Structure 1
Amino acid sequence: MTKTRRSFADEFKREAVALLEGSGRPLEHVARELGLQASVLRNWRRVAQGHPPRSRSGAPAVSGTAIPAKPDEQTAEIARLRRELERTRQERDILKKANQHLLGTAEMRFRFIEDHRDEFPARLMCSVLGVSASGYYAWRGRPESQRAAANRQLLVEIRRVHGRHYGHYGSSRVHASLRAEGVAASRGRVARLMRRHGIRGAAARRFRPVTTDSRHGLPVAPDLLGQVFQVAEPNRVWLADITYLPTAEGWLYLAAVLDLATRKIVGWAMRDHMRTELTTSALVMAIQRQRPSVGLIQHSDRGSQYASRDYRDLLQAAGMRQSMSRKGCCYDNAPMESFFHTLKVELVHRTRFETRDQARREVFAYIETYYNRQRAHSAIGYITPEQAGLKSA
């Protein structure tokens, strides 16, 4: 079987170079995250050399200012105030970190004290958490049970997986990742340890503005899916939709194309408008990257961007069959809605975008280096979309 030469849209190339220049990481690392040969990314950067290079922002240099010497009689008072200030700061930090342990068992509080002995004085933590220092030292002197030792080691693995995925994963995905690595533990046990130690996945928000305008006189295609979202092979069914990204400069709109079999985002485009050019650019990227055969079903809502003449002509030229959701029924495009929900929870709601360019860079990195290549997806057996595509090849 001959290997198909991959093709990339200009927008993908621009964002890849912007990610490289803005990240400050070695070119080889960025290329590997994007699934590219280093020479390819190097050539893209060479083409873009006509533009001024992005400067890496570092911490501004602060010149030291000499503190005038204090009179001797003030030295002791200053030292005392500093000690009190430091103790207050430590108490605040202890309370902040121990929030999930305050109402727990004494053993949970002892475990917190043990885990943070290098940060704060043990007796100070005992006082703040309301346990006796003698009780803590008695607990510390008892031999650890086999179950407690196993839980402690499992907690280390949970925190490792949770941190590797930027705090996005809840207990189900953490459990699936551990199981894939050969770590034996039930999902309930993982969930209990995460709950006990305040380890959570990213939480959702409910607000969502309307991005679909179906009040038009353009042709509407029938629903060819009927909410059947199980597809055996890639490039048989693609889903498409638009969502919004808030920035300090105003809205940035994202159009995406998702392969239903692998849940991979195969095409995307970002603009400051929702005109038809936004959706056609995302579809063109998907076609260039995937080169699907004739007969692929491309499903979307009834928005005017998808019902437009330009979009329908592009589908016809590629030999695709158009499918549309019923009016006002978001469940007809549920996997696409699920991706946007994940994007909002794991990135958009946790980031303040000062500019549209910042949003473009961070969404590009999320889709191409994390979502497609690293994030386990429950609908495809807790593997990544990239792995699902290789498995089907």
Structure 2
Amino acid sequence: MARGQKQYTKEFKHTIVELYNAGKSLAELSSEYALSKSTITGWVKKNKPVAVDKDTTITAADYQAVLKKMARLEEENEILKKGHGHIRKEVTTVFEFITNNKKYHDIKLMCKVLKVSRSSYYKWLNKKPSNREIENAKIEEKIIDIHKESKNRYGAIKINKALKSSGVTISLKRTQRLMKKLGIKSVIVKKYRPTSSKKKIEAQENILKRDFTTTTINEKWVTDITYIHTVKDGWCYLASVMDLYSRKIIGYAMSRSIDTTLALQAVKNAIKLQKPTKELILHSDLGCQYTSSAFKEYIDSTKIIKHSFSGKGCPYDNACIESFHASLKKEEVNLVNYFDYDTARLAIFEYIEAWYNRKRIHGSIGYISPQKCEDLARKIA
């Protein structure tokens, strides 16, 4: 393999193929995951379609047709739900609802579902607005775009930062007012907190000591495991590794079992991706997965990793990775009911790879994405 060429885990390749078979285009996958189209095509050719049962298979075209029909029905139902409070009010209010949601839904479809005339809507729409209204309308469109791109995850502060990055400088209060008018806000869902174990925990050395500052990538990593529920398979588990400099999730693994193998795989994936050559600190809690002899043996075998541990009952010692898992729950996991392990695995993959690492801006690194932060660090090095 040529020097500098990126390596990808088997799980990563299979997941990209699954996304392609599920309908993602080569262009989308290439853009979202920084892969060449030829690389993706090569991976796809090495994988054959999976049969539905012994005698039945389904084509990508059939699958897309079903998805399109389901999406249309879901969209009509969503319009009715959103417009419920407007249907019994005066027509002008209905028109305002259509205008505020035109970035989400087709105008023709909304008029049909809400039973209003398209010609009447456009007549109302074409009345001459004030300069302030024109300016607000343009800003509102940008707000909707930013909010939609974030999958409804951004609140007023991050939307205001994103507006300023695009050349629109307005106050936070004005951003909040416009968001309230549009009826949009950050997703907030209470996260699941597992019950604590009564098993006696032995203290280990805390090298990190809540000093999360770094000068470049691959100096300090933090890791932890979180719980994800599915309808069919019950609890599943995600182990994540974060680089404290970029806040990027550099390694992760999912499993139906919460064991040392899961914790080790996430770290191994991080090492394979980052290829660290200098000494670094890996910080974790005192979970049995991280205090096991197998985990210690592997860490010692790397020769460059020093293992640091949180104090007993001190989640703040590992606050950064705890914060990531909280965001994952708030912005993705707690918004849906995953049917099974594979459904959850694909959703988590997309959240980390396509959204969190590559697009989601992070306040602690100057409101840029973790991937951009890492790219800048590599240029300086």
TM over 0.5: yes
Amino acid at match of 1:342: S
Q: CA separation in 1, counterparts of 2:38 and 2:84?
A: 49
Larger radius of gyration: 1
1:242 equivalent in structure 2: 225
Amino acid at match of 2:164: R
After superposition, residues 210-221 of structure 1 pair within 5 angstroms as 210=195, 215=199, 220-221=203-204
1:349 equivalent in structure 2: 334
Give TM-score scaled by structure 1 length. 0.78
- Matched residue of 1:269: which SS? strand
CA RMSD of aligned residues (A): 3.6
Work out whether residues 203 and 312 of structure 2, in 8 Å CA contact, stay in contact via their aligned partners in 1: no
Q: CA separation in 2, counterparts of 1:10 and 1:141?
A: 55
- Matched residue of 2:252: which SS? strand
Deviation, structure 1 residue 344:
0.9
2:351 equivalent in structure 1: 366
Q: What are the ranges of 5 or more consecutive residues in structure 2 without an aligned counterpart?
A: 52-56, 68-75, 102-106, 117-123
Q: 280, 286, 292: which is aligned to 2:276?
A: 292
Q: CA separation in 2, counterparts of 1:216 and 1:285?
A: 30
2:290 equivalent in structure 1: 306
Describe the shift of the 1:268–1:100 C-alpha distance in structure 2 as closer, same or farther (beyond 3 A): farther
1:26 equivalent in structure 2: 25
Deviation, structure 1 residue 100:
9.4
- Matched residue of 2:46: which SS? helix
Describe the shift of the 1:162–1:221 C-alpha distance in structure 2 as closer, same or farther (beyond 3 A): same
Deviation, structure 1 residue 110:
8.0
Moved over 6 A (4+): 92-95, 100-103, 107-110, 139-142
Deviation string, structure 1 residues 279-304 (Cα, Å, up to 9, x no partner): 11111100000011232100010001
Work out whether residues 239 and 266 of structure 2, in 8 Å CA contact, stay in contact via their aligned partners in 1: yes
- Matched residue of 2:47: which SS? helix
Amino acid at match of 2:322: E
Q: CA separation in 2, counterparts of 1:320 and 1:376?
A: 29
1:15 equivalent in structure 2: 15
Work out whether residues 240 and 299 of structure 1, in 8 Å CA contact, stay in contact via their aligned partners in 2: yes
Identity of aligned residues (%): 32
Work out whether residues 241 and 250 of structure 2, in 8 Å CA contact, stay in contact via their aligned partners in 1: yes
2:120 equivalent in structure 1: none
Describe the shift of the 1:157–1:392 C-alpha distance in structure 2 as closer, same or farther (beyond 3 A): same
Amino acid at match of 1:244: Y
Give TM-score scaled by structure 2 length. 0.80
Work out whether residues 224 and 323 of structure 1, in 8 Å CA contact, stay in contact via their aligned partners in 2: yes
2:364 equivalent in structure 1: 379
Q: CA separation in 2, counterparts of 1:150 and 1:373?
A: 30
- Matched residue of 1:262: which SS? coil
Q: 184, 201, 207: which is aligned to 2:186?
A: 201
1:97 equivalent in structure 2: 83
Q: CA separation in 2, counterparts of 1:17 and 1:59?
A: 19
Amino acid at match of 2:24: R
Amino acid at match of 2:261: E
After superposition, residues 1-393 of structure 1 pair within 5 angstroms as 4-22=4-22, 24-49=23-48, 55-56=59-60, 57-59=63-65, 96-97=82-83, 99=85, 111-112=96-97, 119-120=110-111, 144-210=129-195, 215=199, 220-248=203-231, 249-318=233-302, 319-393=304-378
Q: CA separation in 1, counterparts of 2:26 and 2:350?
A: 14
Amino acid at match of 1:360: R
Amino acid at match of 2:83: K
Describe the shift of the 1:352–1:183 C-alpha distance in structure 2 as closer, same or farther (beyond 3 A): same
Amino acid at match of 2:246: T
Deviation string, structure 1 residues 327-372 (Cα, Å, up to 9, x no partner): 1111111111111111111111112211111111111111111111
